[in-house]
């Protein structure tokens, strides 16, 4: 698990339009990387719309938002269009980046364990180092909670 101050390794993933985005593209800016289980599901939609609703405030502060799930590029395109998401969503079908951040593990549904993406959020500073780690987040309030965590970091 990454700790505050750790250098975050670079990664490259495809966005909703099939365009490559690397973490290193955003050096010099704070970057919120939030991981969510699945596009267009209730919790994930609430989380994404929270970031959408706070987007102007993030932009004013020069903070980049990257939402990452294991869904394919087409699913990301549909999700972004349906909910008018103004930030970048990325596809990690291989789970490599999700696992690197420790955002994959055992979950339970109806008491039955299974492996899946853990709703988590990380903030990377302007130098590419981990600033904030939020391993378990409340989908509805995540966007506001992240802003508060950045102020306190």
CATH number of 77's domain: 3.40.30.10
List pLDDT tens digits, range 59-89. 999 999 999 999 999 999 999 999 999 999 9
Domain for residue 7, yes or no?
no
CA–CA dist 116, 95 (Å, integer): 10
Domain assignment present for residue 4? The answer is: no
Cα separations in angstroms, 65 against 55, 57, 111, 115, 117: 8, 11, 33, 26, 18
Name the residue range of residue 47's domain.
Answer: 28-152
pLDDT at 52: 98
Residue 6, pLDDT > 80, answer: yes
Q: Which of 44, 63, 64, 103 is catalytic?
A: 44
- Evaluate whether 5 touches 130 at the Cβ level (below 8 Å): yes
Is 44 known to be catalytic?
yes
Instruction: Return the residue matching tokens 């995540």.
Output: 142
Look at the chain and report how many structural domains it folds into. Answer: 1
């Amino acid at each position: 698990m990454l700790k505050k101050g750790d250098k975050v390794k670079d990664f490259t993933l495809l966005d909703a339009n099939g365009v490559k985005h690397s973490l290193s593209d955003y050096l010099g800016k704070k970057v919120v990387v939030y991981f969510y289980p699945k596009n267009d599901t209730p919790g994930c939609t609430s989380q994404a719309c929270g970031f959408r609703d706070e987007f102007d405030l993030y932009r004013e502060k020069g903070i980049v938002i990257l939402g990452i799930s294991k869904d394919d590029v087409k699913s990301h395109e549909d999700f972004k269009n349906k909910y008018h998401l103004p930030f970048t969503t990325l596809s990690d079908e291989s789970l490599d980046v999700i696992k690197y951040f420790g955002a994959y593990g055992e979950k339970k549904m109806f008491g039955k364990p299974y492996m899946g993406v853990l709703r988590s959020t990380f903030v990377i500073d302007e130098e590419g180092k981990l600033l904030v780690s939020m391993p378990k987040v409340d989908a509805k309030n995540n966007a506001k909670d992240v802003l508060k965590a950045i102020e306190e970091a």
